[in-house]
Chain A
Amino acid sequence: MSTPTDNLTRRRLLMALPLAGAGVAGLAFWKMLNGMEHGSFNPHDINAPVLDRPVPDFPLTPLPPTEGFTAQDLQRTSKPVLINFFASWCIPCLAEMPTLMTLQGKLDIWGIAYKDKPENTASFLRHSGNPFTHLGDDHTGRAGMEWGISGVPETFLVGPGGVIRWHTATPLTEDTINTVLLPLAHRLQTP
């Protein structure tokens, strides 16, 4: 038989349950929004599935004066290589160039001109400086598909042996370079 006190505790419990549920949901939403604000959570992020995989085979045409490069070239390197997809028609790429120039000498940067005319690429590099030691042309966007990029600029760090270790679909910043990229490149070089 249920006594009146029993009934009261049950009612209180029934009241508290939805409140607790709302509290938990609120906390979850707060955490999500907080993460979006600080960049640790991005629902639009395209998780590059290529991470920790060997570089894909990709077709490039050479862009004089350099001869272009292949997946095999990347597999043969003993140093980490930064692969940067860029285009002369892409404003964030233009904004990223000074940051890439500061990396010269610290990290090997190989560039892929994405869906661009060779003459436009050439004048872009004349204007903004050329941080690339190797340069390839992907005017059809096929190489970009093999790497799984959805736009430019996108950057990959390829470790020795040709394994993709890091990826970003946003322009590189000084902060990312100093806190993430260079430490990782250093770790990859001295195993």
Chain B
Amino acid sequence: MTLRRRLIACLAVLALMATPALVLAVDDPSEMLSDPQQEARAQAIGAQLRCLVCQNESIEDSSASLARDLRRVVREHVAKGEDNKQIMAWMVSRYGNFIRLKPAFSAGTLLLWAMPVLALLMGLGTAFLFYRRRASAPPPPPLTEDEKARLARLTKD
């Protein structure tokens, strides 16, 4: 019986250790929405928004006061039932495209987004050209008498 209890205790500790630590910068649990589904949505949106004070962090990661204000705005809009597009539009109309951590697809970012496909196509094209050239290369000229004699000497065993 005690063995089993110990086992359960061990498992419980392991389970606790396996739970990912809450690393977000939410300073205050009262910031979070009570509905876990809405809160998860708000966090997903916030992770896409750049904190304009510490510019390489998302507003969910930053503890700057502007980031806290923006987190609150995101949660207000989520609670009001707005969709992600509407919330992004609110942010972009005030802070510009710079607030998006993931650039939107537009004429200006076309090359950026198309680059993986372009790089793959260029690689395939280069590989194809090399392959074709090698396949169509003329066979090497036959060995001269001298070379044949040398080869025979070298392979004689």
Binding site for B on A (CB under 8 A): 44-50, 56, 115, 140-141, 145-148, 150-151
- Could you tell me the dominant secondary structure of chain A's interface residues? loop
Are the C-beta atoms of B96 and A49 separated by less than 8 Å? yes
Are the C-beta atoms of B53 and A151 separated by less than 8 Å? yes
Are the C-beta atoms of B66 and A141 separated by less than 8 Å? yes
Are the C-beta atoms of B98 and A47 separated by less than 8 Å? yes
How many chain B residues have a CB neighbour from A under 8 Å?
A: 15
Binding site for A on B (CB under 8 A): 52-53, 55, 65-66, 69-70, 73, 92-98
Closest to B95 in A: A148
Q: Which residues of B contact A140 (CB under 8 A)?
A: 69
Q: Which of A46, A115, A147, A151 contacts B96 (CB 8 A)?
A: A46
Are the C-beta atoms of B95 and A44 separated by less than 8 Å? no
Known A150-B53, A151-B53; judge A48-B69 contact (CB<8 A).
no
CB distance from B126 to the nearest CB of A (A): 13
Q: Which residues of B contact A148 (CB under 8 A)?
A: 94-96
Known A145-B69, A151-B66; judge A46-B95 contact (CB<8 A).
yes
Bound: A49/B98 CA distance, A: 10
Bound: A150/B94 CA distance, A: 10
